[in-house]
Amino acid sequence: MTPSPALGATSEVGALQTVLLHRPGNELRRLTPRNNDQLLFDGVPWVDRAQDEHDAFAAALTERGVEVLHLDALLTDVLSFPSARAELIGAAVDDPRLGASLQRAATRHLAWLAPDELAATLIGGLAHDELRGGRGLAYEVMDRSDFVVPPLPNLLFTRDSSVWIGDEVAVTSLAMPARHRESTITAAVYTHHPWFAGSEQLYGADLEHLEGGDVLLLAPGVLAVGVGERTTPGGAERLARRLFARGLAHTVLVVPIAQQRATMHLDTIATMVDVDAMVMYPAMADSLRAWTVTAPDGVADDADPVELSVTGPRPFVEAAAEAMGIDKLRVIDTGLDPVTAEREQWDDGNNTLALAPRLAVAYERNTVTNAALEAAGIEVVRIAGSELGSGRGGPRCMSCPVARAPLPPR
């Protein structure tokens, strides 16, 4: 695998060149009616169909010239390095449920696995009755189907655990306990894989909660960060300080969103489909507000005591247009009645992945939203998502752009 000549992204709509995906596997087969809520899925998906849908998604990207990287393959590569193995095995057993004896037994079990087997186990989990040489009080009282190492079904949504901003990658700090290890896997891949040699990491899993689904690259130097169920205001401020210190942004718009499942991330409400246009959930189009954050005096780093400038709130679309240097941010008028709008928002109708300006991937099931996009001049690449959507994520959630072409100067 040859490294890309230019990693990074400065917008949501520059021509997509390279993307990181994760094909769902045995981790989804671990979901049951007993644990799917804890593992953040709204149902128990038909895994074979989910894999078929994801394969079709990847094929649609490849057919349009996008290079697709698969996270499990990259993880297998880095697990041939002793330092990466030790780091990820340590993270997998760093669980207060286990106790010292079971931690040692699990470490020995994982240490014997070949890189591909270890990658599959770190993602798919390790159940009580799969552990060789299990021992300790915690092991004895566990149910046979309990997990020593829990599975990571949400790894499917690669957007959340990292986001490229400029030529640096922010490895994020995921809020939900079921997702904490995703960031350790992503960080290890970016740290150890030769494909990403020399890449700088802008953020880390040990910092305030920040998730990639809440970060929108509106234009070069301008970001919107949603704060709500998953990303905290502290995370938004920490990111803003680091962006300003590195010269990767001049304005960050902080956008509060409802702290509920249906609107867990900003990209469940709105996504960019052109350099000056976004599709947005109609019920929130008029109510979204933004605080504008800048650093007029500059900051040296995120610990710099210089106070950031915070103004607002004001309507999000107005604040965004001003920061982007355009007359108006177009919001695609979907014309949905309230019931249809709520259904299609729940089914990720607003969670599109732009392949280029005016070209976006969307779930086929959101027929009214897709028709409105096409009426507004956006070409829609439709993909199936009846099973993929059971984790509440659409094409944008399932993709982490690693390289996008820069937009031409305005």
Q: What is the pLDDT of residues 148-194, one digit of tens each?
A: 999 998 899 999 999 999 999 999 999 888 788 999 999 999 999 99
**176 within domain boundaries:** yes
Q: Strand, helix or coil at 148?
A: strand
Mean pLDDT over 374-403 rounds to: 88
How far is Cα of residue 263 from the mean position of the Cα atoms in its chain? 14
- Provide the domain limits for residue 238: 164-346
Band of pLDDT at residue 341, cut at 50, 70 and 90 = low
Instruction: With respect to residue 242, please indicate whether it lies within any of the assigned structural domains.
Output: yes
400 as an active site residue: the answer is no
CA distances from 82 to 117, 294, 300, 311, 345 (A): 15, 42, 35, 49, 44
- Cα-trace Rg, the chain: 21
d(CA 401, CA 325): 24
Q: pLDDT-derived band of residue 335, with 50, 70 and 90 as boundaries?
A: low
Closest by CA to 51, choosing from 29, 18, 67, 20, is: 29
What integer is the mean pLDDT of 1-7?
61
The continuous run of DSSP H or E covering 126 comes out as strand 126-127
The pTM is what?
A: 0.92
Domain count, the chain: 1
CA nearest to 110, candidates 77, 134, 144, 139? 134
* pLDDT 10s digits, 86-105: 999 999 999 999 999 999 99
Residue 346: predicted pLDDT: 44
Q: State the Cα–Cα distance between residues 300 and 139, nearest whole angstrom.
A: 49
On whether residue 93 sits in a domain, the answer given is no
60 found inside a domain = no
Ranked by mean pLDDT, the top range of 24-28, 128-132, 222-226, 345-349 is 222-226
Sequence-separated (6 or more) residues with CB below 8 Å from residue 43: 36, 390
Instruction: Give the per-residue pLDDT at 344.
Output: 47
Query: Which ranges constitute the DSSP H helices of 231-352?
Result: 233-246, 282-285, 316-324, 338-346
Cα 337 from Cα 285, distance rounded (Å): 14
Which CATH number covers residue 205? Answer: 3.75.10.10
pLDDT tens digits along 174-184: 988 878 899 99
Q: Which one of the listed residues 171, 279, 397, 402 is annotated catalytic?
A: 397
Measured distance CA(258)–CA(390) in Å, rounded = 20
Q: Is the pLDDT of residue 222 over 90?
A: yes
DSSP letter for 384, please.
Answer: -
Q: Tell me the per-residue pLDDT of 5-35, one tens digit each, with 9 for 90 and over.
A: 589 999 999 999 999 999 999 888 887 777 6
Q: Distance (Å, rounded) from C-alpha 183 to C-alpha 179? A: 8
Pick the closest to residue 217 from 262, 171, 258, 253 (CA basis): 253
For the chain, what percentages of helix, strand and coil (3-state, to nearest 5) are there? 40, 25, 40
DSSP 8-state code for residue 175: S
State the Cα–Cα distance between residues 391 and 97, nearest whole angstrom. Answer: 25
Give a yes or no: residue 238 inside a domain: yes
Predicted confidence (pLDDT) at residue 293 exceeds the cutoff of 50 = yes
Strands 16-21 and 67-70: parallel
Q: Percentage of the chain surpassing pLDDT 70?
A: 90
Cβ atoms of residues 244 and 298 within 8 Å: yes
**Residue of 92, 166, 152 whose CA lies nearest to 124:** 152
Q: Decide if 85 contacts 118 (C-beta within 8 A).
A: yes
The answer to whether residue 299 is domain-embedded is yes
Instruction: Please report whether residue 300 resides in a domain.
Output: yes
Mean pLDDT, range 102-109, rounded to an integer: 95
pLDDT tens column, 237-254: 999 999 999 999 999 999
- State residue 3's pLDDT score: 46
* Structure letter (DSSP) for residue 249: -
50, part of any domain: no
Rounded-to-integer distance, Cα 342 and Cα 295, Å:
38
Residue 218 has pLDDT above 90, yes or no: yes
